[in-house]
Chains A and B, each alone.
Chain A
Amino acid sequence: EVQLVESGGGLVQPGRSLRLSCAASGFTFDDYAMHWVRQAPGKGLEWVSGISWNSGSIGYADSVKGRFTISRDNAKNSLYLQMNSLRAEDTALYYCAKDLGYGGNEVWEYFDYWGQGTLVTVSS
């Protein structure tokens, strides 16, 4: 059974940093691209970032480019999102999602499994 478990969310002041983690199990992690998707309270879904199986292709939404960094550790079956210079508008539930494919050349497939999310609140 595929499981994606996010952690690392919490309350943080504007301008500070936070690192999210996603622990994956139930599939061969290093065969697939992975993504972060967020959902602000009461709002829709927003793709944040994606990373290919070997970290060779990485993409970011314009809203986070230059502030967020996605990474993965295939030996630990884990995905990460380093979030710097956080803003109030980054407040959201952050989901980890598995891509159907490997993400070569930054060509992504649809997301077939999702975690339950970790809540990030940016407020003073």
Chain B
Amino acid sequence: DQQVKQNSPSLSVQEGRISILNCDYTNSMFDYFLWYKKYPAEGPTFLISISSIKDKNEDGRFTVFLNKSAKHLSLHIVPSQPGDSAVYFCAASGIIQGAQKLVFGQGTRLTINP
């Protein structure tokens, strides 16, 4: 049972354009959402997060949008740069079965083309 889903395994975007990565979740107990970025042979690095009491959080070129009613979040990168090419993981945190859990999606490989 995949509680956090990233339905696009890969995404290719032209440099300078907007990259939009999507994530859906099923468990309404999740109350905090995070995006991680991962380069090959490295561990994931924290990128941006959003609490369930907000619908938008912005940090420089990165903006995360949360639609609680649709159980959907997205990460916007504007403008996209070649260094943004990486695998992006969406994660959701909440009290699941009595314990705080952090659940990850499958990841989306973003490629920025020059």
Q: Do chains A and B interact in one complex?
A: no
User: Which residues of chain B have a CB within 8 Å of any CB of chain A?
Assistant: none
